[in-house]
Amino acid sequence: MGIFLKSIKPLQIVSVGALALALAACGDKAEEAPKTDDSNTAEETQETGSESRTLTDALGNKVEVPANPKRVIASYLEDPLVALGITPVAQWSLNEGASVQGYLQDSLKDVDLINYDLPFEEVQSFEPDLIIMDSPSMVEGGKYGQYSAIAPTYVIGAELNNDWREELRTVGGIFGMEDKADQVIADYETKAEEAKAQIEEKAGKKSAAAIWLVGGSFFVVNQELSSGDVLYNDLGFEVPAVVQEISASGENNWNAVSLEKLVELDADYLFLVNSDGSESATLSDALWKSIPAVKAGNVYEFGPDTSWLYTGAIANDQIIDDVLESVAK
């Protein structure tokens, strides 16, 4: 699987095959713990009637948004789109479709793929009536003008990792669906609170960590990003010292950790995202087997097509389901 973990937020893109893991801090803190950024809000500056609205994006661009966009490209923003009931005309992919956001495929299985870096000719071929960009990095070097020549182009946030709640509200604002966005967030908060109580009732106050095995190397999730945000901020798991240490020094969603360091990971539960599958020799290593949670049999394994590497209302909702199924049956 290849993803520059945004969280997304997911995540800008990594080539796992080459282990070019430029893991950006993506989140809905992926993907940061709720922190409001006013530049992340769709600001309506002019009402132009029933046909379009003029909105100001995070970069200060005045964007004339159609009243009812029908052919939307919002690469790596598919989670908020699907949460709002919007189907894009094309969806994010990597390596000629070898990698897609698997956890969204129940909703996107019939949607055409577009390469993650949005080549201009490929974008144009879909004849979009609205393009939404996840971060300013996607339009650097004069790209904004080229995209906006194809269709109105709105840039969501000023950060690589936009708070997923604010990002969802911003996307909702673009489509005039603010109330729907607020409801999705409220439903998620209710679910998270209920799940936290259920976990504490069933298992007590426990510590946990999410780790990712890819290409024979381990990465540990940042305590404030992606699935770390869900585990610690939403579900109330205690943060192991190793996770705190690596989160303090690493800026990415997922930061490299040696197997020797993992032996020090004193977590009650380990949630393992295994991109190497059953062929991995790493999981047979004596050091791996000496990790406390491994020795205790408290490792819960998930594949790379699950939502653990992502962030957003849908991704986080699925992570909660996985945690409940693992530790609070």
Answer with the one of 155, 182, 209 that is the final residue of a domain.
182
* pLDDT given for residue 281 in this prediction: 86
Q: Is 282 exposed, middle or buried (0-12, 13-18, 19+ CB in 10 A)?
A: middle
| Whether residue 73 is found in the same domain as residue 109 | yes
Per-residue model confidence as pLDDT tens digits over 103-151: 999 999 999 999 999 999 999 999 999 999 999 999 999 999 999 999 9
Is 244 strand, coil or helix? helix
Domain containing residue 246: CATH number:
3.40.50.1980
Phi and psi at 3, nearest 5°, equal -150, 135
* pLDDT given for residue 167 in this prediction: 95
More confident call, 161 vs 295: 295
Domain containing 112 equals 38-182
Percent of the chain at pLDDT > 90 equals 78
| Whether residue 115 is found in the same domain as residue 204 | no
Do you find a cis peptide bond into 9, omega within 30 degrees of 0? Answer: yes
* pLDDT given for residue 21 in this prediction: 35
Q: Is-contact 21 214, C-beta < 8 A?
A: yes
- pTM for this one? 0.87
Confidence grade of residue 274 (pLDDT, cut at 50, 70, 90)? very high
Percent of the chain at pLDDT > 70 equals 84
Is position 112 within any domain? yes
Residue 261: count of CB within 10 angstroms of its CB: 15
Is position 264 within any domain? yes
Per-residue model confidence as pLDDT tens digits over 245-266: 999 998 889 999 999 999 999 9
| Whether residue 242 is found in the same domain as residue 115 | no
* pLDDT given for residue 42 in this prediction: 52
Answer with the one of 182, 205, 235 that is the final residue of a domain.
182
Answer with the one of 182, 215, 242 that is the final residue of a domain.
182
| Whether residue 194 is found in the same domain as residue 175 | no
Query: Residue 120 is encoded by which pair of tokens?
Result: 């201009």
Confidence grade of residue 50 (pLDDT, cut at 50, 70, 90)? low
Is position 5 within any domain? no
| Whether residue 194 is found in the same domain as residue 321 | yes
Query: Residue 171 is encoded by which pair of tokens?
Result: 């996307």
Residue 284: count of CB within 10 angstroms of its CB: 8
* pLDDT given for residue 160 in this prediction: 61
Find the mean pLDDT for residues 168-172: 97
* pLDDT given for residue 162 in this prediction: 76
Residue 188: count of CB within 10 angstroms of its CB: 21
Find the mean pLDDT for residues 264-280: 93
Q: Is the pLDDT of residue 2 over 50?
A: no
In total, how many domains does the chain have? Answer: 2
